[in-house]
């Protein structure tokens, strides 16, 4: 048994951590999210040049042959600085959809360009009524001749505001709730009939609702198999959850470290508040939450590529539940122990809090995954 990182992985870890420390401090982040675009395209280019966008993809696909552990290394470091650039949407979700299901042409043209930092992606599956159910798809793709015509609306799409191309789930057969009959399509965000309404999400990043009205695509836009898109989407979303769990560890750890420093410094009643035993125990609880969550993120990453689908899904849901609960605890405690200053926009604590609140609901709430885990364990 060995939990150590390879020398390449250590290099990446050091590199991303150093980037966050030196080039992505809280002030820089605030400036970035205040721009109209809401993220920094120059930094994105830099990520591409450093090879960070291609790390997890196979060499065949133009990547560096890494995997989920590598993704997690990057995501955890990004989490420590709440990096808003669309790594999750473009590389993890979009990239994995193409890596797992893309045609050779799609891989060559789109995945290659993603790795080069030239194309941004998003995966759009949620709809107004669908809540966390990937199989609840009302968006339709009607076939006429060799073409498909897409109609419907996708909501709260991660990175949707920035995406050049969007992978959307649409119904090609079956009824609204059935897993069979869902197909994934690669759609150009600028295609006629696509309208993108973007807005801010609570962590300062951008999301979008994407409406499609008679959007015409060819069969070559299909990612994966016709009617068989559900399993692929499920796997893609699982990879997103795994990455997001790693990001959450970065955020939780940042909150723990910052709170630790704060209670040593903040004085009330003539002493550091960290000298009160009740506060000490609370910090220990936070520490335990971080470290046990880290174990779950590793477990998850190791099982993500399992060919046993049930095993993969259980691992992902277990991690989401456990890290969801513990990150909520950490976030709430960090704010509470900071007192008034913890509930301000001025301090980063509140921003980590918001980011983790978003994490808790992302790709299915704790309850949703608890149920998914239980159902798979029956």
Partner 1 sequence: MNIDYTKEELEFQQEVRTWFKENLPEDVKRKHQIGAPFSKDETVAWQKTLSKAGYFVVGWPEEHGGPGWTATQRYIFDSERAAAGAPVGMSMGVIMLGPVLMAFGTQEQKDLYLPRIKDCDDWWCQGYSEPGAGSDLASLKTQAVLDGDEYVINGTKIWTTYGHHANLCFCLVRTDNDCKQQLGISFILIDMEAEGIDVRPIISIDGEHHLNQVFFDDVRVPKKNLVGAEGQGWTIAKYLLTHERTTIAGVADSKLNFSNLKELAKTQTANGAPLIEDEQLRLKIAEEEIKLLALEYTNFRTLADTAAGRAPGPESSLLKVKGTETQQSLSELRVEMAGNYAYVWKADETVAPAEFLHATEQYNFLRACTIYGGSTEVQKNVVAKMLLGLK
- Give residues in contact with partner 1 (CB under 8 A): 126, 129-133, 136, 155-156, 176-177, 197, 199-204, 207, 209, 267-270, 276, 278-279, 332, 335-336, 339-340, 342-346, 350, 353-354, 357-358, 361-362, 365, 367, 370-371
Torsion sign (Cα): 17, 19, 24, 26: positive
Residue 155 interacts with, from ligand FAD, partner 1, none (CB under 5-8 Å by kind): partner 1
Q: Which residues pair with 143 in a beta bridge?
A: 148
Residue 343 is a binding residue for ligand FAD (CB under 6 A): yes
Residue 207 interacts with, from ligand FAD, partner 1, none (CB under 5-8 Å by kind): partner 1
| End-to-end Cα separation, the chain, in angstroms | 30
Rounded distance between C-alpha atoms, residue 362 and residue 113, angstroms: 27
**Of 234, 242, 240, which is closest to residue 133 (Cα–Cα)?**
234
Q: How far is the CB of 38 from partner 1 (least distance, A)?
A: 12
Rounded distance between C-alpha atoms, residue 166 and residue 188, angstroms: 6
Query: How many other CB atoms are there within 10 angstroms of residue 270's CB atom?
Result: 6
Q: How far is the CB of 289 from partner 1 (least distance, A)?
A: 17
Residue with Cβ nearer partner 1 (148 or 352): 352
**Of 71, 62, 9, 20, which is closest to residue 300 (Cα–Cα)?**
71
Binding residues for ligand FAD, rule CB under 6 A, total 12
Residue 218 is a binding residue for ligand FAD (CB under 6 A): no
Residue with Cβ nearer ligand FAD (114 or 330): 330
User: How distant, in Å, are the alpha carbons of 50, 100, 115 from that of 15?
Assistant: 9, 27, 18
Residue 132 interacts with, from ligand FAD, partner 1, none (CB under 5-8 Å by kind): partner 1
Residue range at the interface with ligand FAD (CB under 6 A); choices 19-27, 35-43, 158-166, 270-278: 270-278
Residue with Cβ nearer ligand FAD (137 or 273): 273
Diameter of the chain measured on Cα atoms: 79
Residue 345 interacts with, from partner 1, ligand FAD, none (CB under 5-8 Å by kind): partner 1
Q: How far is the CB of 271 from ligand FAD (least distance, A)?
A: 9
Candidates 26, 64, 132, 276; binder of ligand FAD (CB under 6 A) is 276
Q: Give the long-range contacts of residues 126-130, CB within 8 A, separation 24 or more.
A: 126/154, 126/155, 126/156, 126/157, 127/152, 127/153, 127/154, 127/155, 128/153, 128/155
Candidates 99, 252, 273, 289; binder of ligand FAD (CB under 6 A) is 273
Rounded distance between C-alpha atoms, residue 169 and residue 135, angstroms: 9
Residue range at the interface with ligand FAD (CB under 6 A); choices 134-142, 155-163, 265-273, 287-295: 265-273
Q: How far is the CB of 130 from partner 1 (least distance, A)?
A: 7
Candidates 190, 268, 345, 378; binder of ligand FAD (CB under 6 A) is 268
Are 10 and 73 contacting, i.e. CB atoms less than 8 angstroms apart? no
DSSP-derived secondary structure letter, 228 = B
Are 182 and 248 contacting, i.e. CB atoms less than 8 angstroms apart? no
Q: Which two tokens stand for residue 121?
A: 């992606």
Residue range at the interface with ligand FAD (CB under 6 A); choices 74-82, 234-242, 268-276, 299-307: 268-276
Q: Which two tokens stand for residue 248?
A: 């959450």
Residue 269 is a binding residue for ligand FAD (CB under 6 A): yes
Residue 336 is a binding residue for ligand FAD (CB under 6 A): yes
Residue 209 interacts with, from partner 1, ligand FAD, none (CB under 5-8 Å by kind): partner 1
Q: Which residue has the tokens 């046993």?
A: 308
Q: Return the SS3 of 130.
A: coil
Q: How far is the CB of 333 from ligand FAD (least distance, A)?
A: 9
Are 71 and 243 contacting, i.e. CB atoms less than 8 angstroms apart? yes
Residue 178 interacts with, from ligand FAD, partner 1, none (CB under 5-8 Å by kind): none
Residue with Cβ nearer partner 1 (58 or 176): 176
Binding site for ligand FAD (CB under 6 A): 266, 268-269, 273, 276, 278-279, 336-337, 339-340, 343
């Amino acid at each position: 048994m060995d939990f150590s990182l390879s020398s390449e992985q250590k290099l990446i870890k050091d590199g991303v951590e150093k980037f966050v420390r030196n080039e992505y401090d809280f002030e820089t982040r605030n400036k970035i999210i205040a721009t109209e675009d809401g993220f920094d395209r120059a930094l994105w280019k830099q990520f591409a040049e450093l090879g960070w966008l291609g790390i997890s993809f196979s060499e065949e696909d133009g990547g560096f042959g890494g995997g989920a552990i590598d993704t997690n290394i990057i995501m955890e470091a990004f989490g420590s600085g709440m990096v808003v650039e669309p790594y999750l949407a473009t590389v993890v979700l979009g990239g994995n959809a193409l890596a797992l299901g893309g045609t050779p042409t799609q891989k060559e043209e789109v995945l290659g360009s993603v790795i080069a930092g030239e194309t941004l992606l998003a995966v759009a599956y949620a709809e107004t009524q669908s809540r966390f159910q990937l199989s609840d798809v009302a968006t339709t793709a009607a076939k006429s001749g060799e073409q498909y015509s897409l109609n419907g609306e996708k909501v709260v799409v991660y990175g949707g505001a920035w995406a050049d191309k969007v992978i959307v789930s649409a119904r090609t057969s079956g009824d609204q709730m059935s897993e069979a009959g869902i197909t994934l399509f690669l759609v150009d965000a600028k295609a006629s009939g696509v309208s993108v309404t973007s807005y801010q999400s609570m962590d300062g990043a951008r999301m979008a609702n994407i409406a499609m009205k008679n959007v015409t695509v060819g069969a070559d836009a299909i990612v994966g198999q016709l009617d068989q898109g559900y399993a692929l989407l499920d796997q893609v979303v699982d990879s997103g959850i795994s990455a997001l769990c790693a990001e959450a560890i970065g955020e939780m750890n940042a909150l723990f470290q910052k709170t630790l420093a704060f209670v040593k410094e903040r004085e009330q009643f003539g002493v550091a508040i960290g000298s009160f035993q009740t506060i000490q125990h609370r910090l220990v609880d936070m520490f335990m939450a971080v470290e046990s969550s880290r174990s779950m993120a590793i477990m998850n990453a190791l099982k993500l590529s399992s060919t046993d689908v049930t095993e993969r899904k259980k691992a992902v849901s277990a991690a989401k539940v456990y890290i969801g609960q513990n990150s909520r605890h950490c976030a709430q405690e960090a704010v509470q122990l900071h007192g008034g200053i913890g509930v301000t926009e001025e301090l980063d604590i509140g921003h980590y809090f918001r980011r983790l609140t978003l994490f808790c609901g992302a790709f299915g709430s704790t309850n949703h995954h608890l149920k998914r885990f239980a159902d798979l364990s029956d």
